[in-house]
Amino acid sequence: NITVKGFVRFETGEGLEKKNEDFAAEVAAQMGN
């Protein structure tokens, strides 16, 4: 969780919010399964 949050924060900082949201959703789906 911490690693994912750190990566998400980094991606958002790079200005890839939309791509980051899609990635976060994909990761959440994978972790859910």
**Cβ–Cβ < 8 Å for 19, 10:** no
Residue 18's pLDDT is what? 63
Domain span holding position 6: 2-32
pTM of the model: 0.36
Residue 31's pLDDT is what? 86
**Cβ–Cβ < 8 Å for 23, 11:** yes
Q: Give me 18's structure tokens.
A: 């939309």
Number of domains in the chain: 1
DSSP H stretches of helix in the chain: 2-13, 17-32
Among candidate residues 31, 28, 12, 30, the one with its CA nearest the CA of residue 20: 12
pLDDT in tens, 2-31: 666 656 655 555 555 566 677 788 888 888
